[in-house]
Chains A and B, each alone.
Chain A
Amino acid sequence: MIYDVVILGAGVVGGMAAYQLSQYKLTLAVVEAKAEAGMGASCANSGIVHAGYDAEEGTKKAKLNVQGNAMMSDLCKTLDVPFRRNGSMVVAFNEDEMAVLLKLLARGKANSVPDLTMLTPEQVHQKEPYLNKVCGALYAPSAGIVSPFELAIAAVETAQLNGTDVFFNTTVRSLTEQEDYVLVDCGEKQLKARFVLNCTGVWSDTLAGDETFVIHPRKGEYLLLDKKCSGLVQHTIFPTPSAAGKGVLIVPTVHGNILLGPTADDTEDRKDTGTTAAGMESILIKCQKYISDLSTKNVITSFAGLRASSTSKDFIIKFAPNSRRRINAAGIESPGLTASPAIALLLEKMLADAGVVLEKKHNFQQRPRVVKPAEMSFDEKNEWIKQNPAYGRIVCRCEQISEGEILDAIARGAVTVDGIKRRVRAGMGRCQGSFCLPTVLKMLAEEGKIDCTEVTKCGGGSVYIKGTNR
């Protein structure tokens, strides 16, 4: 068979494209090198829904950012993904920085960012009492925070539910354009596609068929603080941007942690997601500029992600040169997460313009709501547990995640320990899985009908168990 569209990459960009297109009567496939959706940059970023004042007027970044931001509330409600419009502040500590904020304000207005205002030091203090004294801030109430990996996972799960074939652990080796289709060569698996959407993030230039750009991954390291620190800041706090980028920020997560970062270091290694001592030290020093007595005492984990930065200043969303079938969505760095639903709409339009007939499915369905006992009232939860006892047994004590929720995650498609963690947060808390890992391993083995020695952290050779006792 020939698929109407094959999407390369199950990150947030590929995932949103799959979700969008799965609403139509099309044959779709998603090819993902990793074991699950959202395991690349989508699982290691700031989780910010940007307002849209950073990108230059007229760019795709600017337009798709503002458009994606506006879509996010309804989208996250529909997909049942945590999202909150917490607002952002770009803070200035001196007059020079204040001048930059005024430029940002003007740019934001030109980009049609809603409700942008400047705040006085007193107003900032009132909104963020723990913050050091500032000269002023640019306030964007439309900025928000989202769970980025849950967004990617929800999009892919919904696409799958609506008939999209998803091939995990499948790496694309080459794309060959024939008269009627593109041959997607994945080694053992060969797919044919009328159209290919290349959403492969840091790998996108290797499959682009376009010599006009190159990806230069830029690493961002983060520190995650214990939920005890929840309330340290309410808004996303940015420094005044410089030539080096948007800088290191303090941001609350939708789950109640505080995230510090990212650094910005170019790397040639597209798999280099290791943290560094220097990087982590620099995050702390930079964040102490906002909050002097910030310490590393409550850090529960650190991680790094790779931005798919390219030689182009703007997102690259266009057909490969001399191709009628291959569309690249490349160089999707920040604000890519925010823009992802708008990018999906743009890709849809490009396909329609290229002759793809978009006829709505009458039986398109959303995935069932995620059961979250922690958000239920006493009576609701009591009743729910009585009907479904597995939700009464807590497995992850730090995040208070029940056996029932973990079973749900597995039923939804989780096959790895990280897949469980990113779906329902078991192992995401302050002990970082010390207590619940053995139980989660056993559940994955039992439900997946595999041996415990085969259960992995994130696919491939990431096994936990090396054998049995003598």
Chain B
Amino acid sequence: MEKVDVLVIGAGPAGAAAALAAKKAGAKSVLMIERNSSGGGILNQCIHNGFGLQLFGAELTGPEYAQRYADMLKAEDISLLCNTTVLEIGKDKTVLYQNTDGLFRMAAGAVVVATGCRERPRGAIRIPGTRPAGIYSAGTAQRLMNIEGYLPGREVVILGSGDIGLIMARRLTLEGAKVLAVCELMPYSSGLQRNIVQCLEDFNIPLYFNTTVTQIHGRERVEGVTVSQVDATLKPVSGTERFIPCDTLLLSVGLIPENELLDNLQLERDNTTGGAVVNERMETTREGIFACGNCLHVHDLADYASLEAQIAGENAAYFALKGASDQPQIAFRAGYGVTALVPQRVTASALTQGISVMLRVKTPFSHAHIEIKDGEKLLKTVRAQRLTPGEMVRFTLKADHAETLLAEVIPDA
């Protein structure tokens, strides 16, 4: 069986960054496996700008961001196998994959999983009604428009104010479709503030909070949706129903990390992120298997996925070359107001050097900050520009010693 030092599954913003970092950290052979026909992942269909500010100091479109990585990967002579699907990761770090040449097994010194995420479908939120054509997840509509050149609908209602939904509201409008409403179940958006301004407000597209779609109409093609207001428990309020005639319903109702490849590895999972439990090296609880990007936890910016993946790639290379490092001793828990955080495990020795932490808050907080504590002892105070579920909070945590770690939201005095 052939063997590579580091095998990276997925060539999107995370996979590419991981592969590059692994090579730079000394891995002699790095192989990337990508199921689509080219690298770049979802960046290829993200033709809007806003990428690269953190990483390249330039405002790029998705394809431009992907091209920067493609050029760097080429310069480093990193192999990329496209149109290839990984079927299984063995506990011994052999990877089973297939493409039009056949079925193959490849051994790896370390594996980095960077398989991204998928969109939550209609069925998962159980919207009542018929099942006509014209119901798309926002990303599917984006692919149809930006890659295939097709207009999926002319009169559109969007459910969910996630970033892809917001971006698509603008995109559809620019192509001549009418976006009649963006409905958001929560009293706040899960998208970036800049997208609400640039994609909705600039185009006079109405955004209705505390509102959801309660019925889909139309037998063959969508003919309309009923929207209703919801109460504090998110239940539709009777009497608030409003019928909106439309031919398309776009869903932007959440992203689900895609981790089916981890199922047979029996590693620890985090129900709050939907990804694996990792330490500060982005290593899962199965030695030598690393995870990063949106399959680990859903990021707000591609740049952050790439930055996180650099850590994974670098450490995957070290693992492949030098073997196992110290095992983590400290559990990092999400406390009041914090939905989830990464890493969930921390090695004491790494803490003294400083570790990178990312977290999301449960609801928007005004006049609050985040505290990292070891029991009663305050280790760090983090102040973010905005504390809202749509935007990740990133910071470096450094401490000489800790027994436990807890992150929680603290209202300002």
Binding site for B on A (CB under 8 A): 223-224, 228, 271, 273-277, 279-280, 296, 299-303, 378, 381-383, 385-386, 389-390, 392-394, 397, 400, 417, 430-435, 437-438, 442, 452-453, 456-470
Contacts and interface: CB of A to CB of B under 8 A. Distances in A.
Contacts of B128: 274-277, 279-280
B404 interface: no
Nearest to B146: A469
25 contacts: A274-B129, A274-B131, A277-B126, A277-B128, A301-B121, A302-B123, A302-B126, A381-B98, A382-B102, A382-B103, A392-B101, A394-B35, A394-B98, A397-B35, A400-B87, A432-B121, A437-B140, A442-B148, A453-B150, A456-B133, A458-B220, A464-B134, A466-B151, A467-B154, A469-B175
B101 A386 contact: yes
B126 A299 contact: yes
Given A274-B128, A469-B151, A438 B221 contact: no
A466 B222 CA distance: 12
Contacts of B118: 430-431, 434-435
Interface in B250-301: 263
B131 A273 contact: yes
A452 B133 CA distance: 14
A300 B123 contact: yes
A397 B85 contact: yes
A271 B130 CA distance: 10
Most chain A CB neighbours (cut-off 10 Å) among B136, B150, B216? B150
Nearest to B104: A382
B5 interface: no
Contacts of A457: 132-133, 220
Contact of B221 (A382, A385, A431, A461): A461
B298 to A, nearest CB: 15
A470 B132 CA distance: 25
Interface string B296-334: 000000000000000000000000000000000000000
Contacts of B144: 438, 465
Contact of B150 (A394, A459, A468): A468
A114 to B, nearest CB: 37
Nearest to B263: A228
A378 to B, nearest CB: 6
A300 B263 CA distance: 18
Nearest to B138: A434
The 4 nearest A-B residue pairs measured at CB: A301-B123, A389-B100, A432-B121, A457-B133
A465 B152 contact: yes
A430 B117 CA distance: 12
B411 interface: no
A386 B99 CA distance: 10
A277 B214 contact: yes
Given A276-B128, A400-B87, A431 B101 contact: no
A271 B136 CA distance: 23
B87 A386 contact: no
B129 A434 contact: no
B247 interface: yes
A438 B148 contact: yes
A464 B152 CA distance: 6
Interface of B: 35, 83, 85, 87, 98-103, 118-119, 121-124, 126, 128-134, 136-137, 139-140, 143-145, 147-154, 175-176, 214-216, 219-221, 236, 247-248, 263
Most chain B CB neighbours (cut-off 10 Å) among A303, A430, A459? A430
Most chain B CB neighbours (cut-off 10 Å) among A296, A438, A457, A466? A466
Nearest to A389: B100
Given A457-B133, A466-B151, A467-B151, A299 B124 contact: yes
Nearest to B216: A274
Given A386-B101, A435-B140, 13 more contacts: A274-B128, A274-B129, A277-B128, A303-B131, A385-B102, A390-B100, A397-B35, A432-B123, A434-B119, A457-B220, A467-B154, A468-B150, A468-B151
A444 B123 CA distance: 24
B276 to A, nearest CB: 16
Most chain B CB neighbours (cut-off 10 Å) among A271, A280, A434? A434
Nearest to A435: B118
Contact of A389 (B101, B129, B132): B101
B211 to A, nearest CB: 16
Contacts of B236: 277
Contacts of A464: 133-134, 152
B175 A431 contact: no
Contacts of A392: 98-103
A305 B239 CA distance: 28
B100 to A, nearest CB: 4
Contacts of A383: 102
Most chain B CB neighbours (cut-off 10 Å) among A274, A300, A385, A452? A274
A434 B140 contact: yes
Nearest to A275: B128
A359 to B, nearest CB: 43
A438 to B, nearest CB: 5
B84 to A, nearest CB: 9
Nearest to A460: B220
Contacts of B152: 464-466
B1 to A, nearest CB: 13
Given A394-B35, A461-B220, A463-B133, A400 B85 contact: yes
A434 B150 contact: no
A225 B214 CA distance: 21
A217 to B, nearest CB: 15
A393 B124 contact: no
Contact of B133 (A228, A378, A386, A462): A462
B100 A468 contact: no
Most chain A CB neighbours (cut-off 10 Å) among B100, B101, B129? B100
B139 A434 contact: yes
B151 A465 contact: yes
Contacts of A438: 140, 143-144, 147-148
B97 to A, nearest CB: 10
A394 B86 CA distance: 10
Contacts of A299: 123-124, 126
Contacts of B153: 466
A453 B148 CA distance: 12
Contacts of A431: 118-119, 121, 137
B133 A394 contact: no
Most chain B CB neighbours (cut-off 10 Å) among A228, A280, A435, A453? A435
A282 to B, nearest CB: 12
A386 B150 CA distance: 34
Contacts of A434: 118-119, 121, 136-137, 139-140
Given A382-B102, A467-B150, A462 B132 contact: yes
A277 B228 CA distance: 13
B221 A462 contact: yes
Nearest to A228: B263
B150 A465 contact: yes
A147 B149 CA distance: 36
Contacts of B154: 466-467
Nearest to A461: B220
Most chain B CB neighbours (cut-off 10 Å) among A276, A390, A461? A461
B129 A275 contact: yes
A223 B129 CA distance: 13
Contact of A466 (B35, B101, B147, B247): B247
A469 B150 contact: yes
A109 B153 CA distance: 57
